[in-house]
Amino acid sequence: MKTETMKIRIPALPARIISVWARHMSVYTRNLFSNAFPPFLEPLIFLAGIGLGVGMFIRGNVDGMPYLLFLATGLIITPAMYTASFECSYGTFVRLEYDHVYDGMLAAPLTYRDVIWGELLFVGTKGVFFSLSVLIIVFSIGIVRNPFSLVTPFVGGLTGLMFGAIALVITSFVNNLNYFNFFFTGFLSPMFFFSGLVFPLSNLPKPLQFVAEILPLTHPIRMARSLCTGRLDGTIVFDFFYCLLFIVVFGYLATKLLKKRLIF
């Protein structure tokens, strides 16, 4: 066989990653309503229940803004966190162990990196989409008004990448679906309450404030809040770089650790 005469035109790295992304998009959008409606509705129910319900008892401003605005700015981010976490834990595990999706992909001209990064790009996209959909609601009912808030879906995208990456790291260790309960109940649920979403971090004792500052959700929420209120200062730059660093570190770990589950 004369290898010289054979045409070998392998798609370039970006095209390969996008082809993986495109696979997830077409499978996901096939049942878009049942896939996307619940995670979209969840933050709105929370906003109505806690914001309008509990918010009635809150007199004056929280962190210098009405409580409904305070809560809404955080709830733009949380669906990005939850969908990315679900997708890269349960979703990835099912694709890996039950549906053997990656076996097929890795038989096509794709590397394990293409597969992992395409998956992260997909959850980043979902993050943008869910943040945008919540933003549209809170913008149109007049809770959020600042034009800078239009950048928050981008923060939702970063959130998707962050939690996609950390969920992939978790998945690389998991041999049984039930173990993901620890991730959701033990990590995500407490973080939901201690990342400055429901109440300001300044209400926490000093040591806990320090812990909250390490938690990943704190930073995109603070960014979204700055953007929605137009109070932009140096903190948002710090938060942005925290998010980037988090994505790079956990993205690297996910690639390294998941490789052992994909190629062996």
Partner 1 sequence: MDSIEPVIFIRNVVKSYGDLRAVNHVSFEVPPALCYGLLGPNGAGKSTMMKMIYGKALRDREGGEIRIFGFDPAADELAIKHLSGVVPQDDNLDEELDVVGNLMIYARFYGLPKKIAKERIDRLLGFMDLNEKRKVAIRELSGGMKRRLVIVRALLNNPRLLILDEPTTGLDPQVRHLIWDRLRKLKRDGVTILLTTHYMEEAFQICDRVSIMHKGEKVLEGAPQDLIEKNIEAYVLEVMDPSKLEKVCGLCEDPAIRQDRTGDMALLYSDDIAKLKAVQEGMEPGGCYLRQSNLEDLFLKTTGRSLNED
The residue ranges that bind partner 1 (CB under 8 A) are 1-4, 6, 8-11, 15-16, 19-20, 22-23, 26-27, 30-31, 99-101, 103-111, 263-264
The nearer residue to partner 1, 3 or 140, going by C-beta atoms, is 3
Query: From the CB of 126, what's the least distance to partner 1, in Å?
Result: 16
Cα(154)–Cα(82) distance, rounded to whole angstroms? 16
> Helix or strand or coil: residue 168?
helix
Beta strands in 96-152 (DSSP E): none
Closer CB to partner 1, 94 or 245, in the complex: 94
Q: From the CB of 88, what's the least distance to partner 1, in Å? A: 18
Nearer to partner 1, 168 or 262 (CB): 262
CA distances, 161 to each of 21, 23, 227 (Å) = 13, 18, 19
Residue whose CB is less far from partner 1, 97 or 213: 97
Give the SS3 label for residue 107: coil
CA atoms within 13 A of residue 187's CA, in its CB half-sphere = 18
Q: State in angstroms the smallest separation of the CB of 106 from partner 1.
A: 5
Least Å from the CB of residue 92 to partner 1 = 15
Q: What minimum distance in Å lies between the beta carbon of 124 and partner 1?
A: 19
**Pairwise CA distance, residues 189 & 192, whole Å:** 5
* Residue nearer to partner 1 on the CB measure, 5 or 202: 5
Tokens 């004056």, located at residue: 60
Which residue shows structure tokens 């998010």? 243
